[in-house]
Each structure stands twice: as C-alpha cells, then as structure tokens.
C-alpha cells in the first residue's frame, strides 16, 4: 500500500488538460481562466471567513469589558488617551417603544427630548466638573432621562395619538425618576470612597476621616468632596501622555500591625480612562509595593483589594486582589499601626491604554484559576501518553505485522472489534478497577492506558509495517540481529511518518480529554486544563470575556503546535481517514 506515502504529500497540481478541437478564442483563453480563478478565490475566501469567524469573534469577546458584552460589535471600542477627567459620556438615542407607530414617535420624540432637557437643566451640576462639559453633560443626561420617562407612558396612548396626553405621562414619569443620578451617571469621574482594613482574624476597621482621606502630593490634580459621606472626586489633567503622574497619599491609623494585615480595601468608582494606578503601602516599618498595575477599566463602582502575601495565596480560588510585595523595612515609624498609602496615577497613552485593555481579561484568567497547576497536570498526562502511545503502538504493532505466532489472526480480529467498543461500556468497571488499586484521584489512570496500546494506533502501525519489504528484516536477521534490534533499527525508522501522526493524535486526544478526568479526579490541584477551564466557567458564571480568555489560552498551545507541525497534523488526519 504505497498509497499511504503518496497521499501524504498534498500539493497543488495543474488542472486536467482540456481537450479541444479548435484553437480557443482570446476571450476563452485569457478571460475565462482569470474569471474562474477569481470566482474560486471569492468562494474560498467567503467560506474561509465563515470558518475563521468564530475565532475572531472569540478573540474580540475576550477583549471586552463586562460593560461591552452586550454590544453587537465584534471588537470592543478602542480606548484613547484621556487627558482630563471628569469627562462626559455620550448617550445612545432612545429606542422607539414597541407599540408606538414610527411617524407618531418621530413627531413626539423631539418634544419629549426638549421636556426632558428642561427638566434636567434645572438640576444642580455634579461637583468637580470642568466648565466646558456643562452643556454636553446636560444634553446627554436629557436623552437618558427621556429613556426613563418613556417607560411611564401607557402603551395604548400611542395608538390614540393624543400627544398632550403622552407628554403629560412622560413629564409625570420624569418627575418620579431619580434625575440627579441620571445626570451624575453621564459624567465619568474618578471617585474615592472609604478605606477598610481587614485583619487576618476577619475584623474590619473602616477608616474615615471626614472627607480628608486623601491628599494630592504632586501632579495637576485636585480632590473635591462630592457628598457628606466623605467620597472625594479627583479632578485631574495630564498635559500629554508622558506627563508626570498624579500622586495621592493617605496617612491613617491601620489599628493593626503589618503582620496581622489581611487586606486593604479601597472603594472607588472608575472613570473608564484606562489610566493606571500603582500603590505603595507602609504599615509600621514594613513597606509594600503593588505587583500588578491596575487599569481603570470601568465606570461603575468597584473596589481594589491590596493584599500582602497570606494564606489566601495557597488557596485555589480566584485571586481578585492586587498583590503587595514586601519591599523592605524603613526605620523610625511613629507607631506599629501607623499606615501610609500612596497611589500613583499614571497617564496611559493611547497605545498603553490599548495594551491595558488587551491584556486585562487574560491576566484575570490567569489569576482566576490555578492555571499553571492545570497546565502542569495536562503536560504530565500529555507527555506520558505520548511516550506510551509511541512505544506501545510500534512495539505491539511489530508482533502483529511481522511475527508469526499462534492465535495472531484471532487476536487481530479482537483488536479490530475493540475499536468499535463504545468507551461507555468499560467506563464503570474501569473506574472500579482504578479505585481498587488506589489510583482514584491520581493522574495515573489518565496515561497508563496509552502504555498498554490503543487499538486504533496499533492498527495504523500494522498497516504501515506491512508495506515495508520483508527483505529488509530478512537481511538484518542474516546479519545476526535479534527481533528487538530489528524492531528498533529496521522497523522504527521506517514508520516515522506514522509515529508522527500517532504523536499528533495522542497529543490532541490527551489535551482534549474530558470524561476520564471528570470521573477520576477529585481534587482541584489535580485537574487537567480542560476540566479546570470548565470549573472556572462555572465559577465565572456569566463573565463571558473571562471565560473566552481562558478558552483562548487553552486553544493557543494546540494552534501553536498545529503551525509547527502542520504537515504531520495533515498526515495524521489523512491516515485516520484511510480505508481499512
């Protein structure tokens, strides 16, 4: 069956020669082939785009923030350098209610908008904003307010066409809506709420200093108290993207010494500017610096957890905190509980902001599961399976292909029959066997099978070995080689293509494996990547950008290996598809 080797080279070949009686016209000779080529390319391009699109989409989704998940765009908006904050967020236009006829809506909507604009116009402006933003803010808020007011309109009013009635209901709705929060919601503003210190014993100490928690150390910035609860808004301006950072500092009594500190919680509301925050903390004489840079990614309220090394680093749960690395000791603190927190706000150039957005979900994915533990487990399984499959298929294949022994054809029949056996048949008893020998909850059952030979791989090997001329091993035998030497020196070098194909298929199979780990592994520390990813999906619930990032991280090695060994992949698949 030399078919094998000929099939392995897939190369483009010239199309069949066309036989014609008369010499073709110029149109036929030149135009047609070009046209044909173009049509083929166009079809192929369209199809390839369709097939490739899910990857692109997954990649796009993995870059989105959770505020962008529901948007219909494939890729998220690109962030830009934001030189000054607060700034005004644009409002999308109000959707037509389902029951409202289009022309009616087009007529009434401008009136409603002007109603809502005048309702918003009388409101006090949010603190800390720049004067130039006042008018745009009111316009954006008017649209948002209109969205609320429209909900108060009785659905039947639309069909009666009573404009005044509709406006009445709308104004009534506006009057009952929380317009100040609508106005505030359109302003992106960096706000700092209270600080909490949490001790290792779980005690909480809020630190409030009546609105003077932070002070500006350097930079073109100003802290403005925005309400009575002590929340401060930061108004800042960067001359350009390489301007000096804004540095804020807070000095407070942490109430506990450094060795009892679990975490420091900073409540803040982001301005979505993708500018960056770094932290330095000093408690008593112990200094810490933050290990990760926090990009200000969102608009809604959030909290930053600053956490020195603790027992939580050993757990397997999501690490949603910013790690603090100890950075030496300083001398002469006033008291062991005296704390100084320094926040450095760096401007992000457009490029920097894009990078921040690009890596955000990926770094979250790394921190929300014990990724490297999973990878290590998967690698152990993959390597041992690879070694096992390469060894056993060639080794056992030799017995079937070359050696003459009683019962060989019967055994071959059984081998072929087991290829048809659904894995479910042996699922339960194998589980009981692994349990009985104490291998439940170990990685061993996941790879040991490969060492005992996979029926399909043995079959492939036998098929290939049979095509190798017998003269070779006869010659070797005459030269005095024994069977093992013949296997190793004569056979194995000949079947390298099949070995490569088996290696690829084993790798894919092992990396893919889901059911076996699901049944046989108990502890999260032993999960393989596939199972771990699935577990993370359950934890992350609806955090699809995070799940898709994890997904891409799992696919990436396969794709890299695919590109490195593309030829063998294709040979492997070709072999699999070969007739028996």
Map the footprint of another protein across residues 462-521, applying CB under 8 A: 468-469, 471-472, 475-476, 479, 481-485, 487-490, 493-494, 508, 511-512, 514-515, 518-520
- Torsion sign, CA atoms 448, 452, 455, 459: positive
Q: Count the residues of the shown chain that bind another protein, applying the rule CB under 8 A.
A: 177
Residue-wise DSSP of 158-170? HHHT-HHHHHHHH
Residues of this chain, 399-418, that bind another protein according to CB under 8 A: 399-400, 403-408, 411, 414-415, 418
Using rule CB under 8 A, residue 170 touches another protein: no
- In 3D, which of 206, 219, 349 has the Cα closest to residue 274? 349
570 binds another protein (CB under 8 A): yes
Among 255, 351, 425, 564, binds another protein (CB under 8 A): 425
Smallest distance, another protein to C-beta of residue 133, A: 22
Sign, CA dihedral 50-54-59-63, equals: positive
* CA 490 – CA 486 distance, rounded (Å): 5
Q: Residue 187 — φ and ψ, nearest 5°? A: -105, 120
Q: Give the nearest distance from C-beta 452 to another protein in angstroms.
A: 3
Taking a C-beta distance cutoff of 8 angstroms, is the pair 113, 142 a contact?
yes
Taking each helix axis as running N to C, give the angle between helix 496-512 and helix 566-576, from 0 to 180 degrees, rounded to the nearest 10. 90
Exactly one of 26, 34, 334, 432 binds another protein (CB under 8 A); that residue is: 432
**Helical (H) or strand (E) element with 215:** strand 215-218
Shortest distance (Å) from residue 540 CB to another protein: 10
Interface region with another protein, contact rule CB under 8 A, candidates 212-220, 246-254, 338-346, 376-384: 376-384
Identify the residue among 106, 151, 160, 242 touching another protein (CB under 8 A): 151
- If one asks whether residue 332 binds another protein (CB under 8 A), the answer comes out as no
Of 42 and 351, which has the nearer Cβ to another protein? Answer: 42
Q: Quick one: which of 329, 421, 474, 564 contacts another protein (CB under 8 A)?
A: 421
Which residue lies nearer to another protein by CB, 31 or 414?
414
**For another protein, which stretch binds (CB under 8 A), given 3-11, 102-110, 138-146, 209-217?**
3-11
**Counting Cβ atoms within 10 Å, is residue 277 exposed (0-12), middle (13-18) or buried (19+)?**
buried
Binding of another protein at residue 326 (CB under 8 A)?
A: no
Q: Which of 392, 463, 516, 549 binds another protein (CB under 8 A)?
A: 392
Comparing CA positions, the residue from 530, 558, 547 lying closest to residue 61 is 547
Among the listed residues 201, 228, 240, 331, the single contact to another protein using CB under 8 A:
201
- What Cα–Cα distance (Å) separates residue 131 from each residue in 85, 126, 139, 216, 290? 12, 11, 14, 22, 35
CA 394 to chain centre: 39
Structure tokens at 228: 């009575």
Site for another protein in 262-321 (CB under 8 A): 262, 265-267, 269, 300-303, 311-312, 315-317, 320
- Closest separation in Å from C-beta 286 to another protein: 21
How wide is the angle at C-alpha 573 spanned by C-alphas 571 and 576, nearest 5°? Answer: 110
346 bridge partner residues: 276
**Which parts of 33-52 interact with another protein (CB under 8 A)?**
37, 40-41, 43-44, 47-48, 51-52
Stretch touching another protein by CB under 8 A, among 111-119, 173-181, 211-219, 274-282 = 173-181
Distance CA 204, CA 196 (A): 7
Q: By CB under 8 A, which span of 125-133, 208-216, 234-242, 444-452 interacts with another protein? A: 444-452
According to DSSP, the residues that pair with 258 across neighbouring strands are none
Q: Which of 26, 164, 423, 470 binds another protein (CB under 8 A)?
A: 423
Instruction: Identify which of residues 252 and 398 has a Cβ nearer to another protein in the complex.
Output: 398
Tokens representing residue 432 in the block:
């009981």
CB count, 10 Å around CB of 427? 12
Cβ-count burial 130-140 (b if 16+ within 10 Å, e if not): eeebeeebbbb
236 binds another protein (CB under 8 A): no
Pick the piece of the chain touching another protein (CB under 8 A) from 77-85, 237-245, 336-344, 553-561: 553-561
Task: Give the Cα separation of 269 and 231 in Å (integer).
Answer: 10
Q: How far is the CB of 394 from another protein (least distance, A)?
A: 10
Cis peptide before 86 (omega within 30 of 0): yes
| Strand 276-283 to 246-253 pairing | unpaired
- β strands within 167-285, DSSP E: 187-188, 190-199, 204-207, 215-218, 221-225, 232-237, 246-253, 261-269, 276-283
Given the complex with another protein, which of 131 and 311 has the nearer CB atom? 311
Q: Considering the rule CB under 8 A, would residue 226 count as an interface residue with another protein? A: no
Cα–Cα dist 283/277, whole Å: 19
Min CB(330)–another protein separation in Å? 29
Is residue 95 within the footprint of another protein (CB under 8 A)?
no
And the tokens for 157? 């009013």
Nearer to another protein, 332 or 580 (CB): 580
**Does 358 sit near another protein (CB under 8 A)?**
no
Q: How far is the CB of 351 from another protein (least distance, A)?
A: 28
Which of these segments, 114-122, 137-145, 334-342, 381-389, binds another protein (CB under 8 A)?
Answer: 381-389
Q: Which of 295, 395, 459, 568 binds another protein (CB under 8 A)?
A: 395
Contact 81, 347 (CB under 8 A): yes
- Taking the least distance from each CB to another protein, the nearer of 163 and 442 is 442
Q: Does 357 bind another protein (CB under 8 A)?
A: no
Is the CB of 175 or the CB of 472 nearer to another protein? 472
In the block, which residue shows the tokens 């003077």?
A: 212
Site for another protein in 56-75 (CB under 8 A): 57-58, 61, 69-70, 72, 74
Which residues within the stretch 17-36 sit at the binding site for another protein (CB under 8 A)?
Answer: 17-19
Q: Residue 223, interface with another protein (CB under 8 A)? A: no
6 is a site residue for another protein (CB under 8 A): yes
Cα separation of the two ends of the chain: 11
C-alpha 174/C-alpha 139 separation (Å) is 15
Strands (E), 409-502: none
**Both tokens assigned to 272:** 């979505």
Give the residue with the Cβ less far from another protein, 329 or 408.
Answer: 408
Integer Cα distance of 490 and 520 in angstroms: 40
The reply on whether position 183 binds another protein by CB under 8 A is no
């Amino acid at each position: 069956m030399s078919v094998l080797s000929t099939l392995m080279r897939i190369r483009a070949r010239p199309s069949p020669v066309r036989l014609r009686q008369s010499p073709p016209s110029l149109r036929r000779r030149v135009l047609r082939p070009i046209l044909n080529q173009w049509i083929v390319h166009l079809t192929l391009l369209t199809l390839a785009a369709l097939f490739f699109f899910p990857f692109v989409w997954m990649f796009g989704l993995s870059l989105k923030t959770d505020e962008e998940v529901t948007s219909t765009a494939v890729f998220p908006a690109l962030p830009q350098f934001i030189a000054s904050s607060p700034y005004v967020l644009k409002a999308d236009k109000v959707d037509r209610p389902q029951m409202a006829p289009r022309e009616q809506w087009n007529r009434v909507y401008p009136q409603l908008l002007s109603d809502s604009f005048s309702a918003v116009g009388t409101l006090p402006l949010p603190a800390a904003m720049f004067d130039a933003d006042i008018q745009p803010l009111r316009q954006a808020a008017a649209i948002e307010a209109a969205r609320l007011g429209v909900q108060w309109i009785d659905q039947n009013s639309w069909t009666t066409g009573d404009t005044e009635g509709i406006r009445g209901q709308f104004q009534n709705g506006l009057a009952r809506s929380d317009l100040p929060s609508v106005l505030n919601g359109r302003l992106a503003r960096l706000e700092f709420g209270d600080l909490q210190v949490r001790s290792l014993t779980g005690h909480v100490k809020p630190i409030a200093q009546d609105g003077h928690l932070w002070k500006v150390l350097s930079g073109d910035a100003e802290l403005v108290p925005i309400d009575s609860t002590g929340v401060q808004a930061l108004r800042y301006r960067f001359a350009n993207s390489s301007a000096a950072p804004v540095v804020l500092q807070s000095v407070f009594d942490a109430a506990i010494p450094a060795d009892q500190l679990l975490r420091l919680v900073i409540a803040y509301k982001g301005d979505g500017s993708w500018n960056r925050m770094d932290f330095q903390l000093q408690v008593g004489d112990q200094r810490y610096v933050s290990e990760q840079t926090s990009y200000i990614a969102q608009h809604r309220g959030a909290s930053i957890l600053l956490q020195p090394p603790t027992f939580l680093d050993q757990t397997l749960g999501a690490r949603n905190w910013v790690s603090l690395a100890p950075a030496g000791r300083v001398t002469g603190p006033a008291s062991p509980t005296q704390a100084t927190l320094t926040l450095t706000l760096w401007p992000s150039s457009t490029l920097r902001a894009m990078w921040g957005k690009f890596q955000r979900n990926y770094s979250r994915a790394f921190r929300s599961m014990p990724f490297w533990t999973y990878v290590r487990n998967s690698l152990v399984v993959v390597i041992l399976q690879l070694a096992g499959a390469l060894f056993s298929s060639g080794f056992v294949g030799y017995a079937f292909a070359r050696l003459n022994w009683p019962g060989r054809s019967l055994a071959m029949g059984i081998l072929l029959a087991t290829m048809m056996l659904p894995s479910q048949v042996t699922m339960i008893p194998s589980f009981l066997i692994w349990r009985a020998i104490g291998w439940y909850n170990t990685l061993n059952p996941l790879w040991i099978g490969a060492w005992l030979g996979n029926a399909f791989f043995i079959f492939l090997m036998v098929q290939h070995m049979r095509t190798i001329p017998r003269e070779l091993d006869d010659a070797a035998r005459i030269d005095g080689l024994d069977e093992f030497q013949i296997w190793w020196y004569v056979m194995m070098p000949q079947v390298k293509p099949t070995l490569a194909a088996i290696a690829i298929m084993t790798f894919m199979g092992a990396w893919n494996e889901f059911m076996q780990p699901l049944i046989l592994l108990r502890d999260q520390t032993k999960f393989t990547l596939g199972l771990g990813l699935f577990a993370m999906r359950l934890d992350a619930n609806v955090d699809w950008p995070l799940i898709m990032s994890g997904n891409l991280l799992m696919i990436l090695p396969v794709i890299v290996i695919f590109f490195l060994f593309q030829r063998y992949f294709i040979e492997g698949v070709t072999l699999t598809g070969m007739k028996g």
